[in-house]
Amino acid sequence: MRKGESLMKSKSILKVMSITAVSAAIVGAALLHSSISSAAVGAMDEIKLSDINGHWAAEQIGNAVKSGYVDGYEDGTFLPEKSVSRAEFITMLTKALKLKTGEEGSAWYTKYNNAVVSAGIHRYADFKQDINGAISRQEMMRLVVRATRPDFQKPESEVSDKAFVYQAVKAGLIQGFDRGALGLDDATNRAQAVMVIDRVLKINGGGKLDVDKAALSYAEVNLNGSNTRTMWNTQSVALPTKVDLGSNVDVTLDKIIVVDMDDPNGAYKEWFPNEAIGKSNKKPLGSEYLVAVHYVIENKTAQDHEFFSIMRLRPEGFTWGAILPEKQYLTPIKGTQGFYLDEVKTMDGWYLMTTEKKWVDKAVSDSLPILESFVYISDTSIKFPLTLRN
């Protein structure tokens, strides 16, 4: 057996051992071959993996072993938390999809690697690292999205890694960790690999999967700087976007994040805990969204008595918010409403607004842009949209 094949070959070893034992029993007991063969088959069906009882992926692991695209080890374990190499995951995916394989190559995985490339699911250039090294969640997402999307399998299809992440989460192929964290650089373990391949088979069989909304928010921000599509089903302006305030000041808005303040496990909630947010009207947070707009200001000329700020345009819908100074320790972000421009320097901060959910629902139903705002320096102001009409 060549190096690396134990992942896929151990079940066949178990079969050989069982057949050998059955043969010995036939000789010793002088029983009919046909009846012993039936008993052997039954014994194989009863083989259990010793370390998956109670595991969150036990059902999927059992189905995968039964299907034959992954095996347990010779000692009867599955080792669900053991990381999976790139070559091993490709082999599992090839077998699960029943792709046609060619001749053996110089390495044990060559025929499987060639099979996914021929199918348009993988490209040789995708893995610049050691193919026997652990596959990351980011790398796995490329493979499983292409496995479910024929349009991405075409040679002319060019898709960014960020777009693969978004499509994987949007389809339900990938669920987030705690509060939707994506863990893109984390190694994939055997249980996770089986679970994701199980989802691939469900989608390809016409099924639909649950989507992790918090993970989708992170994936959308990772892709285009905003999660307004996930939270409000409305598109933000293309980010980053620059606001022209003349030659002395460059203003760039690069993030628009919507946080559901009712959801303790929602995306970005750890950045904006309820107890750290104050409102200009002094009222407590109710059933509201918090909107955080991140901006970068490059002041090129010192300007006495000049002040930059972002202000809301819809006072009937939005209320100014801020990080309470005494609660700053609860959040990693820096909330600010503006900067004095008396020095040549680059500054950045987050502008916060809150709005009642019912107001957003009405704006969506009326096809209005939910967010419109303006920036100003002293008496000069420029209005601009933050979200577009549906």
Same domain, 246 and 290: yes
Whether 143 maps to a domain, the answer reads yes
List the structure tokens of 234.
């409305």
Whether 7 maps to a domain, the answer reads no
pLDDT of 128-157, one tens digit each?
778 999 999 999 999 999 999 999 999 999
Cα separation, 370 vs 329, in Å, equals 31
Domain count, the chain: 2
Which residues constitute the domain of residue 381? 225-385
CA geometry: angle 23, 25, 30, nearest 5 deg:
100
Whether 162 maps to a domain, the answer reads yes
Nearest CA-CA partner of 283 in 314, 261, 257 = 261
Whether 34 maps to a domain, the answer reads no
Q: What residue has token string 């095996």?
A: 71
CATH code for position 303? 2.60.40
Nearest CA-CA partner of 267 in 228, 211, 219, 215 = 215
Same domain, 206 and 234: no
Same domain, 205 and 233: no
Q: Which of residues 240 and 47 earns the better pLDDT score?
A: 240
Same domain, 188 and 283: no
pLDDT at 73: 93
Same domain, 57 and 205: yes
pLDDT at 34: 25
Whether 284 maps to a domain, the answer reads yes
Nearest CA-CA partner of 45 in 65, 31, 30, 69 = 65
Same domain, 283 and 234: yes
Same domain, 233 and 372: yes
Of 167, 189, 214, the residue at which a domain comes to its end is: 214
Of 214, 237, 252, the residue at which a domain comes to its end is: 214
Same domain, 191 and 232: no
Same domain, 92 and 198: yes
Decide: 380 and 239 in contact? Cβ < 8 Å: no
Cα separation, 237 vs 234, in Å, equals 10
Whether 174 maps to a domain, the answer reads yes
Whether 76 maps to a domain, the answer reads yes
pLDDT of 246-263, one tens digit each?
768 888 999 999 999 999
Same domain, 118 and 158: yes
Same domain, 248 and 299: yes
% of the chain beyond a pLDDT of 90: 53
Using alpha carbons, list the distances in angstroms from residue 325 to 268, 320, 329, 330.
Answer: 19, 15, 8, 10
Same domain, 237 and 158: no
pLDDT of 185-238, one tens digit each?
999 999 999 999 999 999 999 999 999 999 999 999 999 999 999 999 888 889
Mean pLDDT in residue range 123-129: 85
DSSP state of 55: -
Of 169, 194, 214, the residue at which a domain comes to its end is: 214
Whether 345 maps to a domain, the answer reads yes
pLDDT band at 376 (very low <50, low <70, confident <90, very high): low
